[in-house]
Amino acid sequence: MPQDQPQLTLRPDTAFYILLKAREFHAKVEEVDPDEGSNPADDKNVDVLEFNPGDAVEEEVASAIGDLNEDELMDLIALVWVGRGDFTLDEWQEAREDARRIDRTQVAHYVLGLPMVSDALEDALSQLGYDLATYLDSGVAQPSSGSGIEVV
């Protein structure tokens, strides 16, 4: 564990929201039967797992990411990179600076284009003391005791 924990400008609950939406996005498959006419109750609502025209999940992720300011975007990308192992928490500032290279209009596309991005985000948040299960139970991202995390 690094001695000086990074100070996040990205709220952990926002990061968890993006994580969960990215997980939902990556769970989808190509549409199998576009002309299917049964009702969702009859087919156990499996169509929700298919990409469909007008699917809101990608738009929800893009909107959440589009609402972030420059510092929050750098935190998001740095979290992904730390979670993937490209950087360590000790290299947080370097990861944030490298994140500036990604055009802010392309961040949502970049994030959704990364396989297992939700796992990377979950891992990085865990390294910072935030637990997905706790967030899901409470709806609020709280650091585990003694983590020393500061959210700015």
Give the model confidence (pLDDT) of 110-125 as tens digits.
Answer: 998 998 999 999 999 9
- Mean of all residue pLDDT scores within the chain: 80
Answer whether residue 131 shows pLDDT above 70: yes
The tokens for 128 are 């910072």
Answer whether residue 145 shows pLDDT above 50: no
Least Cα distance to 18 among 69, 71, 74, 57 occurs for: 57
Identify the burial level of 28 via C-beta atoms within 10 angstroms of its C-beta, where 0-12 means exposed, 13-18 middle and 19 or more buried.
middle
* Terminal C-alpha separation, the chain: 20
pLDDT of amino acid 59? 85
SS3 content of the chain, % helix, strand, coil (to 5): 55, 5, 40
Distance between CA atoms of 53 and 69, rounded to whole angstroms? 29
pLDDT of amino acid 97? 97
pLDDT of amino acid 36? 57
Answer whether residue 48 shows pLDDT above 90: no
Least Cα distance to 10 among 67, 51, 49, 61 occurs for: 67
